[in-house]
């Protein structure tokens, strides 16, 4: 809570027409024919100076019309790269991003995903923050939108919690998590920390594990842009299967964090949720354990409500707070399961089985 409150909306941002940084905007895409066109249109609509913007989209062995759609935007300056590796990799996305960076000409790398939407001031707000405060890396807000079901609205609330945790750590001068759908960093710093070397054995982690590497080298030089213009929007997973696969992928990288205090915190939260399950079941044999469970749940609800309310206010989704009474007990089950399975088994991502 303290960390989120410590993040102030920046006041001394530079106007878009006065910005001077050459930016390489990177998007890795695989089988995104249903989404990529809308994302490209949003990127092309940015108010950032066109002569300072390079847009590179990397097609990761798509089997649909993704590459053809990207190629059709070549007259508007969209550059298409296509991976052609024949040997099997475990981290195609990191390979795609590293390949694009090696061919980029910008000083600042800005990454988003192929299924995202953003306002036309998104890029200029990120670069203004970069130029105004001299950050080496910037994490910016991501949220879900266009929810079609209760399940998707619950995801939005839970996802906002994760974004808030990452932001709060940065507000406290530390670094834990971020989201690759809205991520910026200096190109020279990427190479200075060795890029993805040492973390390229994991399919995921092109965002958080890179954040951890940079935080170790540049403590206090990472910013979180707490500004609504900087929000990137994406959609929640429509099915439980897709949701669980995504969360297992995210959990798979947690034990690789450079900051072991962050790992200890994650393990502590997992153990707390495990104790809730144990006490809930144990109460059938010893009523005292139900009393402990009730106290734990009261603490959980109170903390989560206090933490989430300012975050949901920032996203202008305060109405979703009513779902916390439903989300909190569900969260216990899924958090324990994902924390265990995410670090012990393979999962499916982009039609591939990875680890």
pLDDT at 89: 67
Contact yes or no for 125/227 (Cβ under 8 A): yes
> CA neighbours within 13 Å on the CB side: how many for 17?
0
What are the boundaries of each domain within the chain?
Answer: 2-242, 260-354
CA neighbor of 253 nearest in space, from 332, 180, 181, 146? 180
- pTM, rounded to two decimals: 0.91
CA dist 33 and 62 (Å) reads 9
Kindly give the parts of the chain with pLDDT less than 50. none
First-residue to last-residue Cα distance in the chain: 33
DSSP state for residue 89 in the 8-state scheme: -
Name the CATH architecture for the domain at 2-242: Alpha-Beta Complex (3.90)
**How high is the pLDDT of residue 85?**
73
Q: What is the pLDDT of residue 334?
A: 86
Strands (DSSP E) found in 154-261: 183-186, 222-224, 232-234
Count of other CB atoms within 10 angstroms of residue 46: 20
Kindly report the backbone phi and psi dihedral angles of residue 111, in degrees, each rounded to the nearest multiple of 5, phi listed first.
-115, 140
């Amino acid at each position: 809570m303290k960390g989120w409150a410590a993040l102030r909306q920046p006041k001394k941002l530079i106007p878009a027409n006065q910005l001077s940084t050459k930016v390489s905007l990177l998007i890795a895409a695989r089988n995104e024919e249903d989404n990529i066109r809308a994302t490209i249109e949003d990127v092309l609509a940015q108010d950032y100076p066109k002569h300072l913007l390079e847009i590179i989209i990397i097609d990761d062995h798509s089997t649909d019309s993704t590459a053809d759609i990207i190629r059709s935007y070549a007259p508007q300056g969209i550059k298409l790269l296509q991976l052609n590796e024949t040997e099997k990799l475990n981290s195609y996305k990191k390979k795609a991003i590293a390949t694009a960076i090696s061919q980029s000409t910008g000083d600042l790398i800005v990454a988003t995903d192929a299924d995202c939407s953003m306002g036309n001031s998104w890029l200029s707000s990120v670069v203004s923050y970069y130029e105004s405060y001299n950050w080496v890396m910037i994490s910016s807000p991501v949220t879900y939108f266009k929810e079609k079901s209760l399940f998707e609205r619950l995801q939005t609330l839970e996802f906002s919690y994760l974004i808030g945790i990452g932001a709060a750590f940065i507000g406290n001068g530390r670094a834990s998590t971020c989201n690759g759908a809205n991520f910026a960093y200096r190109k020279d710093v990427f190479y200075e920390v060795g890029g993805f070397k040492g973390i390229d054995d994991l399919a995921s982690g092109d965002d958080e594990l890179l954040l951890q590497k940079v935080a170790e080298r540049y403590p206090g030089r990472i910013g979180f842009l707490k500004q609504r213009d900087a929000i990137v929007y994406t959609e929640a997973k429509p099915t439980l299967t897709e949701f669980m696969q995504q969360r297992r992928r995210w959990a798979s990288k947690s034990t690789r964090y450079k900051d072991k205090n962050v790992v200890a915190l994650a393990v502590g939260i997992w153990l707390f949720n495990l104790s809730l399950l144990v006490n809930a079941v144990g109460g059938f044999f010893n009523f005292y354990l139900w009393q402990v469970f009730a106290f734990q749940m009261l603490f959980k609800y109170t903390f989560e409500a206090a933490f989430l309310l300012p975050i949901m206010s920032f996203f202008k989704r305060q109405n979703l707070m009513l779902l916390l009474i439903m989300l909190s007990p569900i969260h216990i089950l899924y958090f324990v399961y994902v924390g265990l399975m995410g670090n012990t088994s393979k999962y499916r991502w982009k039609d591939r089985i990875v680890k």
